């Protein structure tokens, strides 16, 4: 799963409903662009589809545990960068075991499957291809249940402590700090230069604690930084929200 938060259906590349979508987020990158009934995901059919229609069945988890009462949407048309879900939308909610069944869906290929992130206005969907540039599609067949891989929710409430948004700092002795996240086993941080000609020395840098002293100097300029929290099973729990940028004032 590759994560991307898309506020107001605008792509932000971090790793997001129908026409009322506020936020959208990708969480999973799959090698297959289309999930079919011949896919390797197995399951026990909970409900038989009505004749001539199909069902979509899956599970929603957070930190490896089932999440109840989460809304899941199957989109006839979906664009992660503009408009979100369009066309016919079919919905279901997860039960106490985190399982959902979207029932009696007309057979065809659907362009997105979205799970709401708890009680927020954000959704998570599976993406395909390098960098998750396209959403995974789902081929529903008549009289069959399409089993899909579990959706692992993550939140965007990890707090960054230093440097803060808008800070002007020295590249020397710069120490990144963030708040400890519940049940996190480790973190990954990335620093993205605003100047596309600059190559960042820190992308998905793994850290066991909540601080990191930069040992590679950054050139003068503006940077965005982000931290992600993972549990011991390598499942993403959270990422830092917002667009946190700082400026290096004395780099070469």
The residue written with tokens 């020295």 in the block is 170
The pLDDT assigned to 8 comes to 30
Q: How far from 24 is each of 52, 59, 91, 216, CA to CA, in Å?
A: 32, 19, 16, 34
Would you give the DSSP letter of residue 131?
A: G
What pLDDT digit, counting tens, does each position of 104-141 carry?
A: 999 999 999 999 999 898 999 998 766 667 889 999 99
Mean pLDDT of the 32-48 span: 85
| Long-range pairs of 34-38 with CB within 8 A, sequence gap ≥ 24 | 34/109, 34/136, 34/137, 34/138, 34/139, 35/136, 35/137, 35/138, 35/139, 35/146, 35/148, 35/149, 36/139, 36/141, 36/146, 37/139, 37/141, 37/144, 37/145, 37/146, 37/147
What pLDDT digit, counting tens, does each position of 186-232 carry?
A: 999 999 999 999 999 999 999 999 999 999 999 999 999 999 999 99
Q: Does residue 84 have a pLDDT over 60? A: yes
Q: Does residue 81 have a pLDDT over 90? A: no
The pLDDT assigned to 6 comes to 36
> Three-state SS string across 173-197, please?
CCEEEECCCCCCCEEEEEEEECCCC
At 246, the pLDDT band (50, 70, 90 cuts) reads very high
Strand 211-213, strand 175-178: pairing = antiparallel
The pLDDT assigned to 163 comes to 97
Mean pLDDT of the 70-81 span: 94
Quickly list H helices, the chain: none
The pLDDT assigned to 18 comes to 26
Distance between CA atoms of residues 97 and 240, nearest Å: 28
Contacts of 104 (CB under 8 A, 6+ apart): 49, 50, 53, 55
Tokens of 121: 């206005």
At 25, the pLDDT band (50, 70, 90 cuts) reads low
The pLDDT assigned to 39 comes to 79
The pLDDT assigned to 42 comes to 84
The pLDDT assigned to 219 comes to 95
Distance between CA atoms of residues 184 and 200, nearest Å: 25
The pLDDT assigned to 242 comes to 86
Across the chain, what does the average pLDDT equal? 87
Across the strands, what pairs with 205?
Answer: 189
Answer with the residue of higher pLDDT: 46 or 37: 46
**pTM of this prediction exceeds 0.85:** no
């Amino acid at each position: 799963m590759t994560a991307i938060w898309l506020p107001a259906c605008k792509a932000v590349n971090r790793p997001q409903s129908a026409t009322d979508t506020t936020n959208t987020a990708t969480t999973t990158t799959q090698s297959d662009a289309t999930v079919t009934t011949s896919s390797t995901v197995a399951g026990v059919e909970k409900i038989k589809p009505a004749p001539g229609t199909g069902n979509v069945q899956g599970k929603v988890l957070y930190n490896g545990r089932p999440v109840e009462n989460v809304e899941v949407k199957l989109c006839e048309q979906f664009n992660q960068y503009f408009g979100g879900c369009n066309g016919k939308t079919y919905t279901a909610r997860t039960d106490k075991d985190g399982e959902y069944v979207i029932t009696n869906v007309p057979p065809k290929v659907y362009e997105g499957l979205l799970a709401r992130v708890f009680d927020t206005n954000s959704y998570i969907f599976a993406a395909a291809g390098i960098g998750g540039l396209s959403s995974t599609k789902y081929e529903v067949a008549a009289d069959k249940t399409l089993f899909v891989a579990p959706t692992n929710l993550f939140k965007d409430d990890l707090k960054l402590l230093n440097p803060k948004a808008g800070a002007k700092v020295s590249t020397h002795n710069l120490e990144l700090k963030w708040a400890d996240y519940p049940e996190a086993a480790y973190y990954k941080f990335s620093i993205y230069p605003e100047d596309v000609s600059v190559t960042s020395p820190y992308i998905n840098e793994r850290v066991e604690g909540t601080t990191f002293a930069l040992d590679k100097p950054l050139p003068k300029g503006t940077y965005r930084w982000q931290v992600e929290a993972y549990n011991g099973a390598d499942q993403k729990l959270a990422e830092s929200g917002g667009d946190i940028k700082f400026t290096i004032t004395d780099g070469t």
